[in-house]
């Protein structure tokens, strides 16, 4: 049976840390669906379509990766799509409690759904999308934080805000 996993997130915008997790998942599983979702606790900066486009560009070389988006619960989408595993990156101990809560809740909502954590690489340990947005907005250099192929688009979008 083909193993499909889902990498969910806000991706506002995609960073090298996200790309590292997606790339590693694409080597481990047959198919990776990267889902650009709404985190109701956050007000996004990039539109869903913009975030999807940046991800499409950043993952162009990864043939088994598909970029998707939907409204509603991740657990329900996974049931509908017959996806049984979520892959997420864990950066530091500070991520753990929140990720643990989400993993348990998703499993309560859909008992067939497992969450698999990959440890972030050392360069992404302290990286986040909001940090990238703040540095970019203030004219700082974000070259070390975002995929090179989408760097210019992210910079010009952040400057326009
Ligand atoms: N490298 C670098 N940064 C990373 C990273 C990595 N490997 N993994 C996560 N991050 C960053 C993200 O960019 C994000 O940064 P930000 O807070 O500055 O935006 C932060 O860490 C948190 O990431 P994550 O835990 O993935 O949260 P998220 O907001 O990106 O995604 C959803 C959360 C969208 C997956 C979750 O809200 C969801 O599933 N929503 C759908 C509705 C639903 O089912 N809700 C019930 C959930 S139990």
91 ligand 1 Cβ < 6 A: yes
Across the 161 residues of the chain, what is the mean pLDDT of every consecutive 10-residue run? 93 98 98 95 95 98 97 97 97 91 98 97 93 96 97 94 84
Place of tokens 């988006």: 69
Taking domain 4-126, whether its CATH number is 3.40.50.620 is answered by: yes
Cα gap 80→82, rounded to integer Å? 6
- Give, in order, the Cα–Cα distances in Å from 68 to each of 1, 12, 92, 138: 22, 15, 27, 30
pTM across the whole model: 0.96
Q: What local confidence, expressed as pLDDT, does residue 161 receive?
A: 84
Closest ligand 1 atom to Cα of 20: 7
10 ligand 1 Cβ < 6 A: yes
Q: What local confidence, expressed as pLDDT, does residue 50 receive?
A: 97
Cα gap 161→156, rounded to integer Å? 9
Q: What local confidence, expressed as pLDDT, does residue 75 receive?
A: 98
DSSP string for residues in 67-130: EEE-SS-HHHHHHHHT--EEEEEE-SHHHHHHHHHHHHHHHHH-TT-EEEEEEPPGGGTT--HH
DSSP 63: T
- Residue in 7, 21, 71, 129 to alter for ligand 1 test, most ligand atoms within 8 A of Cβ: 129
| Sign (positive or negative) of CA dihedral 139, 145, 148, 153 | negative
Q: Where are the domains of the chain?
A: 4-126
Q: What local confidence, expressed as pLDDT, does residue 92 receive?
A: 87
């Amino acid at each position: 049976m083909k193993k499909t996993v889902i990498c969910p997130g806000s991706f506002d915008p995609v960073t090298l840390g996200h790309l590292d997790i997606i790339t590693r998942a694409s080597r481990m599983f047959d198919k990776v669906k990267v889902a650009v979702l709404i985190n109701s606790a956050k007000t996004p900066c990039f539109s869903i379509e913009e975030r999807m486009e940046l991800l499409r560009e950043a993952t162009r070389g990864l043939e088994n990766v598909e970029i998707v988006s939907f409204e509603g619960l991740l657990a329900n989408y996974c049931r509908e799509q017959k996806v049984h595993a979520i892959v997420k990156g864990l950066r530091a101990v500070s991520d753990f409690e929140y990720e643990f809560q989400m993993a348990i809740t998703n499993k309560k909502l859909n008992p067939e759904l497992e969450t698999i954590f990959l440890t972030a690489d050392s360069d992404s340990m302290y990286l986040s999308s909001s940090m990238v947005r703040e540095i970019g907005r203030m004219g700082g250099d974000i070259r070390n934080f975002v995929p090179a192929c989408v760097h210019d688009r992210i910079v010009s979008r952040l400057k326009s805000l």
